[in-house]
Chain A
Amino acid sequence: MIFGMWDSTLFHIGPIAVDHLVVTEWAIIALIGIIGFMATREMQVVPRGLQNAWEAIIIFTYDFFTQLMDKEHVAKKWAPLLTAFFLFILVSNYSGLIPGAAHIEGFQPPTSNWNVTMTLALITFFAVHVAGFSEHGGHYLHHFVSPSVAMLPLNLVEEVAHPLSLTVRLFGNIFGEEMVIAFLLFMAPFVVPSAIMGLSLLLGAIQAIVFTILSASYIAASTGEGH
């Protein structure tokens, strides 16, 4: 394994190689999709059980983004994407903690590979600019030359630095955490790793929240009235 890469192509769809990470992502998407489907299958006005929990997640995240982004119509438009980010990253961070996951060849959390985190960061990158253009139209381009034309290179560097830092933050945290757990498992196979695994429950949730909050604040900055 070199630098988070694990060469284990499972099969090909046309020219595209499908490896273990893509299959894990499909499993995560299927899991979230099935829970969502079960929760909304027989919807009632007064929710109970799974529907109640699902509605609580949606309402909590929606309120949170509305408070964070000032403009309610922007928050309403982008809350589904941001909530999807949160759920996907949370479940994939936790997927490395399934008992026995370390013993299956090629099983690793998708977010501990930088290809996956860069894909997520690029989705944010495009979402930010789509949100900016749909909010301000052509006037959005002015913010690249504000406060003056001399700042254009610096603004462009900033636009590249945002997705890059999102990529590296999520990848570095989850990959580092996986490496620490692997090293502890190698040194002491029982009991000892459970301490750091408990810590990684917390870290996985924090990283999911941080990625979502930062994406939300980038979208809020591009749709805001500052430019």
Chain B
Amino acid sequence: MGVALGAGLAVSIAGIGGGIGMGVAGGKAFEAIARQPEVGGDVRTLLFITLAFIETLTIYGLLIAFMLVGKA
């Protein structure tokens, strides 16, 4: 019971932070591309790298959840 709760909390709390971060980064990138469409390619590459970094933190949470579930 406790382990299941912990696994759920690990992935959900990590998801909240990652979701907010990705939303801000993606929104700003779209603003930049809308304002200056000619830099779209560069912004897109940087956006992918940034999203990958943010996503890693969420994936750490997911990994902990898998470890907890595997242990139980």
* Residues of A bordering B, CB below 8 Å: 2-4, 68, 165, 168-169, 171-173, 175-176, 179, 206, 209-210, 213-214, 217
Contact = CB atoms under 8 A, between A and B. Distances in A.
Contacts of B67: 3
Nearest to A176: B62
Interface in B1-26: none
B34 interface: no
B49 A2 contact: no
A171 B63 CA distance: 9
Nearest to A164: B56
B32 interface: no
Categorize the interface residue count of chain B. 10 to 19
A176 B49 CA distance: 20
Contacts of B48: 206, 209-210, 213
A168 B59 contact: yes
Most-contacted residue by chain A among B48, B56, B66, B70 (CB, 10 A):
B56
Contacts of A214: 49, 52
Nearest to B63: A172
B45 interface: yes
B70 A168 contact: no
Contact of B70 (A2, A68, A173, A209): A2
A193 to B, nearest CB: 19
B70 A3 contact: yes
A79 B63 CA distance: 31
A217 B49 contact: yes
**Chief secondary structure at chain B's binding surface:** helix
**Chief secondary structure at chain A's binding surface:** helix
Given A3-B66, A172-B60, A172-B63, 6 more contacts: A3-B67, A68-B45, A168-B63, A169-B59, A171-B63, A206-B48
A128 B32 CA distance: 31
Given A2-B70, A3-B66, A214-B52, A173 B45 contact: no
A3 B64 CA distance: 10
B66 A175 contact: yes
Contacts of B45: 68, 213
25 contacts: A2-B70, A3-B67, A4-B66, A68-B45, A165-B53, A165-B56, A168-B56, A168-B59, A169-B52, A169-B56, A172-B59, A172-B60, A172-B62, A173-B55, A173-B59, A175-B66, A176-B59, A176-B62, A209-B48, A210-B48, A210-B52, A213-B45, A213-B52, A214-B52, A217-B49
A209 B45 CA distance: 10
A80 B45 CA distance: 20
